[in-house]
Amino acid sequence: MIELKNVSKTYQMGTEQVRALRDVSLAIREGEFVAIMGPSGSGKSTMLHVLGFLDRPDQGAYLLNGNDISRLTDDQLAVLRNQTAGFVFQQFHLLPRITALDNVALPLTYAGKQNLKARALDRLTDVGLALRAGHQPNELSGGERQRVAIARSLVNEPLIIFADEPTGNLDTKSEAEIMVILKKLNASGKTIVMVTHEREVAEHAKRIIFMRDGRIVSDETRDAKGVMAPTGTESRVDLKKINKTLVNAEHAVGRAELADHLRQSIHAILSNRLRSFLSMLGILIGVAAVIAMLALGQGAKDSISKRLASLGSNLLMIRPGSSQQGGVSLGAGAVTRFTLADAEAMSKLPEIRRTSATVSGRVQLVAGDKNWSTQVQGTGVDYADMHASVPTNGRFFTTEELQARQRVVLLGMTVVRQLFGDSDPIGRDIRVNRISFKVIGVLPEKGATGWRDEDDVVIVPVTTAMYRLLGKQYVDSIDAEVADPALMDGAQDAIKALVIKRQKLEKDKEDSFQIRNMAEIQATLESTTQTMTLLLGSIAAISLLVGGIGIMNIMLVSVTERTREIGLRKAIGARRSDIITQFLIEAVLMTFTGGLIGIILGVSAAALLSAVAGWATAVSVSSILMATTFSIAVGIIFGLRPAIQAAELNPIEALRYE
């Protein structure tokens, strides 16, 4: 039945090569019960893996019923493992979250056979475990688990049973039970090849092969009469079955059906509910966000318009600009530098209502045992009203505190969270660049703008910032609020004339400062809001992309966690396409389910915000179809890499994975 001719196998272990098999030649006839023994590292397990189609020899030929199978593809070998061989492992390798009956039926899945439960139950009955069919592996004893593994190896009616230390983890009683089962199987005509360390276990076999250093050093036949299988019709049928299996392997038939993959994928998802939920979460949030944001696009545009208007459309910002000398830029502030006196002079112009000078820099904050690096802004007392920064808790500093250069500070919400958590910071002392300051207020939360967190800031009086913290003699900018929007152009001309006069700028230096008009920003608002709905939808779609990355990460972790399961599936006949299909279905199921839940949440969120905020909403069918299609596409795209990685695992390495 089996013949090895000068077979060798070498493994690469780091920089060293390990020769596991060295020119081994061996013949095994149908009906034999062969025990392979030897010390650790002798090559007996490698021999079993080669014989059982789990590994390939580097050299030599492997003949199965006279057919050389050493050149078969991985998928063709998988068909042989499924239909010709049955495996019994020392570690049992039962899937932990399914019943004994489902474990036994697993090889039938990859054979494409029907009536799975009935045949699997028959095999469990054969090993005396019919009453334990509904129990999971952790509810069975070691001997019972090994009997389940034997039933699994028999469910496809294989011709050869390969047993790798089948009694290695069992007590004496269980060992005896397993050996009785194996001897009965051999007596019924099954060919058995067993690896064992124990001589008393090997004595049950009719032929004992002893290996050392990758070679066969002895081959003893204990009972010459029992070596051959029965010589009647049964033997001829067996040989025909091998030939038929080899033909099937050539045509790669017997793959698991889609319904089987779907059933197993659902079970895998439900068996790891928390991990599956975390995988769905990103897609769920993304789909809900897309639908809600598209439905609330108009309301979002109105809100953004209102927030921009609150910054003050009649605000002018005066900043030092760059100047050129000999074609070389001198940089900002090289010619024109503003002082507090300049800000005071601007405030006296008839077109100007009030001004606020500003300086900024980086500082280190310390409060108790916590510290935080942030931006400090030194401003005037009118800054709060001009920039919608009236404290939500506490107060802004006064003119007296500004003039006295008091060490008082207002904190942005990000700073509050980093230094004080949920406690109230008002009245507390913090150190700013090692200087003690008292917290007098908390700034309103504004959120992030671009890459900058608007709440990661502290505000102090401009005089305190200049002379106590930053050591600056000049201010970085001056904000001027125009008394009436109609006076904007006149105010801009008046400020320009004032600066030229106070700075005594020559004609060629008049470009050394800039005046930015907030009205210009407001002019762009209309065109910006026209694309806001699309922008919001695009931003929400990014969360779908992030959710897809989350799916890929979780699936990659799942591949690692389920490495031994994948090895088992390959050992019992799963092909590359079967593994890829199963993992892809799992990914698509999770993203599709997350998408459906996200649709419900998105529609509910839009309706809720419409009722609470009074925004008009219109959930379109196209947005639902788009979100659902995108979620499925994410599952396929981001599930493909983990699926391929799982399919490429070597069954031997996967089974040995710890």
Residue percentage of the chain with pLDDT more than 70: 85
Q: Per-residue pLDDT averaged across 522-548, rounded?
A: 68
Tell me what the pLDDT averaged over the chain comes to. 81
Residue matched to tokens 């050394």: 512
Give residue-wise pLDDT tens across range 57-73. Answer: 888 888 888 888 877 88
Same domain, 539 and 424: no
Could you tell me the pTM of the whole model?
Answer: 0.57
Same domain, 451 and 348: yes
pLDDT at 237: 39
141 in a structural domain? yes
Same domain, 301 and 369: no
Task: Give the CA distances from residue 622 to residues 124, 512, 625, 629, in Å, rounded to whole numbers and listed in that order.
Answer: 53, 53, 5, 10
Q: Per-residue pLDDT averaged across 9-19, rounded?
A: 82
Tokens for 360, please give them.
């900024």
Same domain, 538 and 643: yes
528 confidence band (pLDDT: 50, 70, 90):
low
d(CA 519, CA 654): 66
Q: Which of 547 and 176 is assigned the larger pLDDT?
A: 176
Q: Per-residue pLDDT averaged across 591-598, rounded?
A: 85
Same domain, 356 and 452: yes
pLDDT at 311: 58
298 in a structural domain? yes
Give residue-wise pLDDT tens across range 432-441. Answer: 999 999 999 9
Same domain, 298 and 351: no
Q: Which of 182 and 523 is assigned the larger pLDDT?
A: 182
Helices 273-295, 621-647: axis angle to 10 degrees equals: 150
pLDDT at 113: 67
Same domain, 543 and 492: no
d(CA 60, CA 194): 22
pLDDT at 45: 87
User: Residue 491 above 70 pLDDT?
Assistant: yes
User: Residue 494 above 90 pLDDT?
Assistant: yes
490 in a structural domain? yes
Residue percentage of the chain with pLDDT more than 90: 24
User: Residue 326 above 60 pLDDT?
Assistant: no
Q: Are strands 191-195 and 160-164 parallel, antiparallel or unpaired?
A: parallel
Nearest to 572 by CA among 218, 92, 22, 124: 92
- DSSP assignment of 576-614 equals HHHHHHHHHHHHHHHHHHHHHHHHHHHHHHHHHHHHHH-
Same domain, 301 and 442: no
Q: Per-residue pLDDT averaged across 636-644, rounded?
A: 81
User: Residue 151 above 70 pLDDT?
Assistant: yes
User: Residue 461 above 50 pLDDT?
Assistant: yes
Q: Per-residue pLDDT averaged across 28-46, rounded?
A: 89
Q: Which of 101 and 306 is assigned the larger pLDDT?
A: 101
d(CA 655, CA 90): 11
Q: Per-residue pLDDT averaged across 453-481, rounded?
A: 93
Task: Out of 147-151, 434-438, 650-654, pick the least confident.
Answer: 650-654
Q: Per-residue pLDDT averaged across 401-408, rounded?
A: 95
User: Residue 268 above 90 pLDDT?
Assistant: no
Report phi then psi at 429, rounded to 5.
-100, 135
Tokens for 258, please give them.
């889609």
pLDDT at 297: 67
Same domain, 495 and 428: yes
363 in a structural domain? yes
87 in a structural domain? no
pLDDT at 435: 94
Q: 3-state class of 138 per DSSP?
A: helix
311 in a structural domain? no
Same domain, 341 and 468: yes
Out of 126, 148, 170, pick the residue that ends a domain: 148
Out of 487, 504, 521, pick the residue that ends a domain: 504
Range of the domain at 110: 95-148
Q: Which of 379 and 186 is assigned the larger pLDDT?
A: 379
pLDDT at 449: 54
pLDDT at 236: 38
User: Residue 405 above 90 pLDDT?
Assistant: yes
189 in a structural domain? no
Residue matched to tokens 């106070």: 502
Q: Per-residue pLDDT averaged across 540-552, rounded?
A: 74
Q: Per-residue pLDDT averaged across 306-316, rounded?
A: 63
Same domain, 481 and 544: no
Q: Are 557 and 340 in contact (CB under 8 A)?
A: no
pLDDT at 327: 45
Give residue-wise pLDDT tens across range 345-368. Answer: 999 999 999 999 999 999 999 999
324 in a structural domain? no
Q: Are 573 and 79 in contact (CB under 8 A)?
A: yes
Give residue-wise pLDDT tens across range 531-540. Answer: 766 776 677 6
Q: What is the 3-state secondary structure (H, E, C) of 305-373?
A: HHHHHHCCCCEEEEEECCCEECCEECCCCCCCCECHHHHHHHHCCCCEEEEEEEEEEEEEEEECCEEEE
User: Residue 303 above 70 pLDDT?
Assistant: no
Q: 3-state class of 19 per DSSP?
A: strand
Domain count, the chain: 3
pLDDT at 397: 96
User: Residue 404 above 60 pLDDT?
Assistant: yes
Q: Are 34 and 194 in contact (CB under 8 A)?
A: yes
Give residue-wise pLDDT tens across range 236-267. Answer: 335 555 555 555 554 444 455 677 778 778 87
User: Residue 568 above 80 pLDDT?
Assistant: yes
Tokens for 354, please give them.
């009030």
pLDDT at 448: 64
Same domain, 370 and 500: yes
